Amino acid sequence: MAPDLKKPSSSVSILGLGYVGLCTAATFASRGIRTIGIDIDEARIEQIRRGRAPVHEPQLGEMLKRVVKKKLLDATSDVSRATDTNTSFLTVGTPSQPDGSIDLTYVKQATRELGKALQKKQSYHLVVVKSTVIPGTTNGTVNPVLEQSSGKVVGPSLGLCANPEFLKEGTAINDALHPDKIVIGSNDKKSADQLTRLYREFYGSRLPPVITSSPETAELVKYASNAFLATKVSFINTIANIAQHIPGVDVNRVADAIGHDPRIGHLFLKAGPGYGGSCFHKDVQALVSYSQQQGYDPQLLKAIEKTNEDQAIQVVELVEKLAGPLDQKRIAILGLAFKKDTDDIREAPSIRVIDRLRNKGARLVGYDPMAMPNFESVFGNTIELAKSSHDVLKGGDCAIVMTEWDEFRRLKAKDYIAQMRKPVLVDARRIYNPAEFRELKFAGIGFGSEPLGPGSQAEPS
């Protein structure tokens, strides 16, 4: 019988079922590629085997349920199951160390376990480093650990590639299904070809541009990408902080105008309280630390981080400007997550702002549609938490929009006036049109006070 050409022949194993690993595993399986997810956390495995997502990510839950039911995805703690597949992805975490450099403990552990399992395997096996690692890690760390533990030599029977991911929280599934590029770093053609073939099976005619390079280049691409995006955010926040001093200027208009220049582009030019999340801060820090180890002091990168940290000062200054001294003032924090549609509070600007407000003696009450359980588990009852976006405003002396949730966009000036002791609002995410909030004492990141220009054009973008 002729082989069914449409049926994927590849099978993959994913080591590390954290955020990236799980989204990667689910999307591979969703394209009919037999996938084995491997993790040391038994409780997590049990959850995944029942088709439940242990992290919040739109579309992930339904996708998991579907692929587990169809037996395209299985989860296990048994690393030896990786040998039943022809490609293994390392997607374990690379957490920050106090000096900003990354901790490779999990990468080494997972590589060692995988290598041991591969000892007896006869046929070719490809190992792919998807974890975010500094240039030189795939060749300098993963390669020797893999060779030692497997007793094989990387090359003819054992492949090794670096293949960074660019998933965004909240849109990770869509990003994995429609990436703008695939970056494959390899030392030999055989491994790069096998990985390209796998992605061709995955994407079919929609295969995005595949950029092949050395592993070191691929590793640097990931850092350069996140550092550049962080640069755009700190840049527009700098312009916003200047704009704030110029009556009639609105940073959103400036961003829109400069974005028309294709050399600049519109994306990632939204001024706000600073970037957060699990990647930007961690990756810029790691790049700074790596660069310094090489003997080059990357001043631009350090300024990007400092600008971001200090953006919390700008938010608190706006609060003080409007509400006066903060001691004993009741301040409502609308949003704790680092961006909307996620329950993730890692490096969230809300935490930096809360910290400063507490130091100034303010009494804080927070609300977030999704991130309150995470906030509570890290910060306990350091601040009061409210039940709803109306509740959080009750008796407040000032409210600050820290996350751009749609739920907050629906609040009108009258809602603030009805609930607050003093209707004072700082829109740190620029979700509101200032013209509609004239009855309140209102300030936003990046626009000068009156006059706002023809027809009060300051707008949320």
State in angstroms the smallest separation of the CB of 445 from ligand UDX: 10
Residue number, 34 or 232, with CB nearest to ligand UDX: 232
Residue number, 222 or 422, with CB nearest to ligand UDX: 222
Contact between 56 and ligand UDX per CB under 6 A? no
State in angstroms the smallest separation of the CB of 305 from ligand UDX: 13
For the chain, give the secondary structure using H, E and C: CCCCCCCCCCEEEEECCCHHHHHHHHHHHHCCCEEEEECCCHHHHHHHHCCCCCCCCCCHHHHHHHHHHCCCEEEECCHHHHHHCCEEEECCCCCECCCCCECCHHHHHHHHHHHHHHCCCCCCEEEEECCCCCCCHHHHHHHHHHHHHHCCCECCCEEEEECCCCCCCCCHHHHHHCCCCEEEEECCHHHHHHHHHHHHHHHHHHCCCEEEECHHHHHHHHHHHHHHHHHHHHHHHHHHHHHCCCCCCEHHHHHHHHHCCCCCCCCCCCCCCCCCCCCHHHHHHHHHHHHHHCCCCCHHHHHHHHHHHHHHHHHHHHHHHHHCCCCCCEEEEECCCCCCCCCCCCCCHHHHHHHHHHHCCCEEEEECCCCHHHHHHHHCCCCEECCCCCHHHCCCCEEEECCCCHHHHCCCHHHHHHHCCCCEEEECCCCCCHHHHCCCEEEECCECCCCCCCCCCCCCC
Contact between 276 and ligand UDX per CB under 6 A? yes
Q: CB–CB of 209/96 below 8 Å? A: no
State in angstroms the smallest separation of the CB of 393 from ligand UDX: 22
State in angstroms the smallest separation of the CB of 237 from ligand UDX: 7
List binders of ligand UDX among 224-243 (CB under 6 A): 226, 229, 233
Residue number, 337 or 357, with CB nearest to ligand UDX: 337
246: its two tokens: 């110029």
Q: Which of 70, 120, 168, 306 binds ligand UDX (CB under 6 A)?
A: 168
Contact between 339 and ligand UDX per CB under 6 A? yes
State in angstroms the smallest separation of the CB of 163 from ligand UDX: 13
Q: Which of 275, 367, 416, 437 binds ligand UDX (CB under 6 A)?
A: 275
227: its two tokens: 């550092």
Contact between 430 and ligand UDX per CB under 6 A? no
One of 23, 161, 279, 398 is an active-site residue; which one? 279
Residue number, 240 or 386, with CB nearest to ligand UDX: 240
Q: Which of 18, 37, 54, 272 binds ligand UDX (CB under 6 A)?
A: 272
Contact between 268 and ligand UDX per CB under 6 A? yes
Residue number, 11 or 289, with CB nearest to ligand UDX: 289
Interface segment toward ligand UDX; rule CB under 6 A; list 57-65, 188-196, 203-211, 270-278: 270-278
269: its two tokens: 């030019």
Backbone φ and ψ of 102, nearest 5° = -95, 150
C-beta atoms surrounding 142 within 10 Å: 27
State in angstroms the smallest separation of the CB of 348 from ligand UDX: 7
State in angstroms the smallest separation of the CB of 63 from ligand UDX: 18
Residue number, 125 or 270, with CB nearest to ligand UDX: 270
List binders of ligand UDX among 277-296 (CB under 6 A): 277, 279-280
State in angstroms the smallest separation of the CB of 282 from ligand UDX: 9
Please name every residue paired with 366 in a beta bridge, in sequence order, or none if there are none.
333, 385
Residue number, 88 or 231, with CB nearest to ligand UDX: 231
Contact between 379 and ligand UDX per CB under 6 A? no
Contact between 182 and ligand UDX per CB under 6 A? no
Interface segment toward ligand UDX; rule CB under 6 A; list 114-122, 164-172, 192-200, 366-374: 164-172
Number of residues that bind ligand UDX (CB under 6 A): 18
User: How far from 172 is each of 169, 179, 437, CA to CA, in Å?
Assistant: 5, 10, 35
Contact between 181 and ligand UDX per CB under 6 A? no
Contact between 269 and ligand UDX per CB under 6 A? yes
State in angstroms the smallest separation of the CB of 155 from ligand UDX: 30
| Catalytic residue list contains 279 | yes
Distance between CA 394 and CA 13 in Å, rounded? 51
Residues recognised as catalytic = 279
**Residues within the interface to ligand UDX (CB under 6 A):** 166-169, 226, 229, 233, 268-270, 272, 275-277, 279-280, 338-339
